[in-house]
Amino acid sequence: MFKRFTTSSIDHSLRNRLKARSLTASSRSEQTARTRFESVARRTLRGEGVLVTGCSSGIGRAVALHLAAQGFTVFAAVRKAHDADALRQLGDPNLIPVCPLDLTHLTDIPPIVDFVSQEMQRRGKDGLYAIVNNAGGGSIAPIELMEIDKFRTEAETRLIGPVALLQAFLPLIRRAHGRLVWIVTPGLMPLPYLSSIHAYDFAVNCLARTVQLELAPWDIPSIQIRCGGIQTAAPAKTARELEESFKNWPKERFELYAASLEKELAEQAKFDKKRTDPREVAKVVQKALCASHPKRRYQIGYMAGVAALAEALPQSLLDWAMSRR
Ligand SMILES: NC(=O)c1ccc[n+]([C@@H]2O[C@H](COP(=O)([O-])OP(=O)(O)OC[C@H]3O[C@@H](n4cnc5c(N)ncnc54)[C@H](OP(=O)(O)O)[C@@H]3O)[C@@H](O)[C@H]2O)c1
């Protein structure tokens, strides 16, 4: 008698075969994952390429110098030739100035992508390991008196330029199984007269977290380095600009804010005395680049912890607290 295959026996044998195949596939994928993990864990980061924006001063410069000293190949982006010369004169072969990169001029980007790609190939490496999005400025002003061109420039520097940079470099970053780093302010909190800095921090926070989700299939972490008060050229620059603005703002409208601005500036002066050395930020960036499982957020600098705590409050409560300052 012919052996009758019942539906259930067919089901059974099919299930067994599928199970066997899926076991093979899963053990293969486990093995691939393991091999990949081991190769990432074993891979030395020595010589891997990192592009840092805004390296003429402050945090960017400190990060670039530190990473180069640790053996990364650092592409230190600046806007001006004399800043590139100053970096070159340091004589570190791991520190390669790239110039000009003005994030408001998107045409600066393609030649830099070509240069970075060729230089990494020449050094026997595939792709670019990381971008550290650092460049930024911003000014102090009530929104009513803010110069719209400056506000627009900051949007280009902090948002549009970095997105264009990301688009241009992602193929290289994918090849290197790399990561993205964003230098930002920790707390998502409204501070009077600082909106041209903090409004973009809100937006960068959103960009960094969104890109983290979008790039998850390729395991490209997007990491925020949330800096409190850091001792850089920025406070002096903004103070100089503010003095200029005092001369340019219409007197009758400036007078509406004068007392409140004076109070904020006095607070700011106290804050400025306690800022943290930017080399501390550089060490945290190194940690974020080297960790096999990096955190999504690192905090560093004066008051960074307090600001992050404030962010955990309900918005209405935080708004109330800020209005009582
Ligand atoms: N200092 C702090 O307490 C603090 C705290 C939290 C976050 N941050 C953030 O950290 C970043 C660096 O600030 P910093 O304090 O180190 O200030 P900084 O010393 O003034 O450095 C800012 C850098 O950004 C560059 N830059 C400005 N606009 C640019 C543009 N359109 N294209 C390309 N580069 C541009 C500047 O180049 P030029 O010299 O050519 O102008 C400079 O190299 C900023 O994004 C800032 O918001 C700072």
Q: How confident is the model over 49-60, as pLDDT tens digits?
A: 999 999 999 999
Cα-only R_g, the chain: 25
- Could you tell me which residues come within 8 angstroms of residue 70 by beta carbon, excluding any fewer than 6 positions away? 286
- Specify whether the CB–CB gap between 137 and 154 falls below 8 A: yes
Backbone angles phi, psi at 52, to 5 degrees: -115, 130
Structure tokens at 34: 């393991």
pLDDT at 121 over 70: yes
Say if residue 224's pLDDT is above 50. Answer: yes
By alpha-carbon position, which residue is closest to atom 33 of ligand 1? 102
70 lines ligand 1 (CB under 6 A): no
Is any atom of ligand 1 closer than 6 Å to the C-beta of 134? yes
pLDDT digits (tens, 9 = 90+) for 276-291: 999 999 999 999 999 9
Q: What is the reported pTM?
A: 0.88
Question: In what order do the strands lie in the sheet containing 179-184?
Answer: 95-98, 73-77, 49-52, 130-133, 179-184, 222-227, 297-300
Domain ranges of the chain: 44-323
* 228 CA: nearest ligand 1 atom: 5
Mean pLDDT, residues 251-267 taken together: 94
Percentage above 70 pLDDT, the chain: 86
Q: Hunting for tokens 């004068």 — which residue is that?
A: 258
Tens digits of per-residue pLDDT, 139-195? 999 999 999 999 999 999 999 999 999 999 999 999 999 999 999 998 788 999 999
Domain boundaries 44-323, corresponding CATH code: 3.40.50.720
> DSSP assignment, residue 296?
S
Nearest to residue 297, comparing CAs of 216, 168, 200, 185? 185
What is the distance in A from the centroid of ligand 1 to the CA of 108?
18
Q: Give me the percent of the chain exceeding a pLDDT of 90.
A: 81
Q: Is the pLDDT of residue 8 over 70?
A: no
Model confidence at 73: pLDDT above 60: yes
CA distance 182 to 137: 14
The closest of 223, 135, 136 to 173, measured between CA atoms, is: 223
Higher pLDDT, 113 or 10: 113
